Amino acid sequence: MAKADGPFNEMGMSDEVRGPYADIERWLREMPSDKLELKRREAETLFRRVGITFAVYTEGGDPERLIPFDIIPRVLARAEWDRLSLGLHQRVKALNAFLADVYGERHILRAGKVPERMVLGNESFRPEMQGFLPPAGAYTHVAGIDIVRLDADNFYVLEDNCRTPSGVSYMLENREAMLRLLPDLCGMHKLAPVSHYPEDLLDTLKSVAPPACRDAPTVAVLTPGSYNSAYYEHSFLADEMGVELVEGGDLFVDEGFVYMRTTQGPKRVDVLYRRIDDDYLDPLTFRPDSALGVPGLFAAYRAGRVTLANAVGTGIADDKAIYPFVPEMIRFYLGEEPILLNVPTYLCERDDDRKYVLEHLHELVVKETRGSGGYGMLIGPQSTAADRAVFADRIKARPADYIAQPTLALSTCPTFVEQGIAPRHVDLRPFVLNGREIRVVPGGLTRVALREGSLVVNSSQGGGTKDTWVLER
């Protein structure tokens, strides 16, 4: 793994500015900081007015918060993006093949490339999906692949999100905000557009209409409701695609088909872009106490009368304990070498790995295999002895629940913070669409850790976002 003296600054140093940032660097030098502050405030007003907020589950304060938006864009050259994009295609293809395989013939398990126990004994594995192939064999219709960069050449996948990844509305709204607030700066660059994402998403969803659908498919977005933290995104995507935004209570199953309750009576639904977790989809099949879901939905799905996107059971592909095997999947299913690198990962359930992890807690990042959103994490170099003791106990008690990785020196981008313009760590979540073909909109959501030295970019942990630019030239 590459190790540099300090984290890689994507803009370069002042004496040696990297090509894609040339104009940004000049613009930043000429921009008085009070004007930058003005733009930052304008951005905040804009986001509030449009209502681009997310809910935070903590005590007190404003229940609808803004994710801080940094107005200095993160820039990728076309060549950098092209390589990334190839890697994303490859990875999603392999993840999808893995899903079709583990719910089908299980070749990869029989070949011993992934331990059978880790798949079949995993709570993300859905036995209900065995022997059922969704339309077009597509499972991960929308995948968010979290990418970090350590130097000029190496992109690593930090994790795969194959269930209901969110954040794409920020990718789109961030660009809108930039075009509005800094038109000159945008005009100076030839930006690869992103605004066609909702159309691509709709095409992808239509392309996987169920076999029982004879006419133009009716698509809807299924949301847990307006109290969900990502509700803004659900409504935004439904609106942009021009399809209904439904809640569980708007749907019912009758004689095996799914209908929405409308002012004109029941209307058939063919494809549901669902943003509800598997557990809550159908109280008859999954959690019986779910009030968010639709009784009978899963049976209709298996009968080929409605398509769910993403498919049920995709969690087994993005499980943190399965992650170390993705490069092997790429080799196994595609016969190719992985283009994007995996972060070396220690599985605490392996005796050797656990021993190493416990001895090196101060330099590792420990993650709960079931955790997400930056919760349940130990960042070794920033931890206290007490933190480490707590994690050591937890790892010993339930080793299978923990993995560990080296602390990565994530790349930084210039960011406007209270102290002025300073480098802050970033990651990137591109969104990969997968129906009858794979499509990626150039760019993605750049998340930035606003606190100095922080490596946690999650919005629930004080992270912000940036517009991500792929330069056409």
Partner 1 sequence: MLSRTADGLFWLARYMERAASVARLVQVGNRMSNMSLSLDNPGNEWRSTLIATGTEPGYLAKHGEIVPSLVLDYLVLDPENPSSIVSCIETARRNGRAVRTALTVDTWEALNETWQQTRALKADRLAADSLPGLMDWVVQRSLLFCGSYANTMLRNDGYLFTHLGTLLERADNTARILDVKYHVLLPDHEGVGGVLDYYQWQSILRAVSALRSYHWVYHDRLKPWLIAELLILRPEMPRSLVACLAHVVDLLEALAVRYGGQRGECHRLAGEIHARLRYGRVEDIFQFGLHEYVTQFIDDMLRLGQEISGFYLNVR
Binding site for partner 1 (CB under 8 A): 48-51, 225-226, 231, 235, 238-239, 244-247, 249-250, 260-265
Q: Give the bridge partners for 156, in sequence order.
A: 148, 341
Shortest gap between Cβ of 221 and partner 1 (angstroms)? 8
Q: Collect all residues with Cβ–Cβ distance below 8 Å to 72 and sequence separation of at least 6.
A: 24, 28, 413, 414, 415, 416, 421, 466
Q: Which is nearer to partner 1, 187 or 249 (CB)?
A: 249
454/272 Cα distance (integer angstroms): 38
152/4 Cα distance (integer angstroms): 11
Q: Which is nearer to partner 1, 241 or 441 (CB)?
A: 241
Shortest gap between Cβ of 226 and partner 1 (angstroms)? 5
Shortest gap between Cβ of 254 and partner 1 (angstroms)? 13
CB 235 within 8 A of CB 247: no
CB 217 within 8 A of CB 270: yes
Shortest gap between Cβ of 232 and partner 1 (angstroms)? 8
Q: Which is nearer to partner 1, 51 or 183 (CB)?
A: 51
Q: Which is nearer to partner 1, 60 or 265 (CB)?
A: 265
Shortest gap between Cβ of 190 and partner 1 (angstroms)? 28
Q: What are phi and psi of 113, to 5 degrees?
A: -80, -30
Shortest gap between Cβ of 45 and partner 1 (angstroms)? 10
Q: Which is nearer to partner 1, 10 or 173 (CB)?
A: 173
Q: Which is nearer to partner 1, 292 or 348 (CB)?
A: 292
Shortest gap between Cβ of 260 and partner 1 (angstroms)? 6
Shortest gap between Cβ of 308 and partner 1 (angstroms)? 19
Q: Which is nearer to partner 1, 234 or 424 (CB)?
A: 234
Q: b/e string for 150-186 if b means 16 or more Cβ within 10 A? A: beeeebbbbbbbbbbbbbbbbbbbbbebbeebbeebb
Q: Which is nearer to partner 1, 35 or 261 (CB)?
A: 261
Shortest gap between Cβ of 240 and partner 1 (angstroms)? 9
Task: Of 434, 424, 431, 432, give the one whose Cα is nearest residue 456.
Answer: 424
Shortest gap between Cβ of 243 and partner 1 (angstroms)? 8
Q: Which is nearer to partner 1, 188 or 260 (CB)?
A: 260
Shortest gap between Cβ of 463 and partner 1 (angstroms)? 24
- The angle formed by the CA atoms of residues 122, 123 and 127, to the nearest 5 degrees, is 90
Q: Which is nearer to partner 1, 32 or 265 (CB)?
A: 265
Q: Which is nearer to partner 1, 29 or 49 (CB)?
A: 49
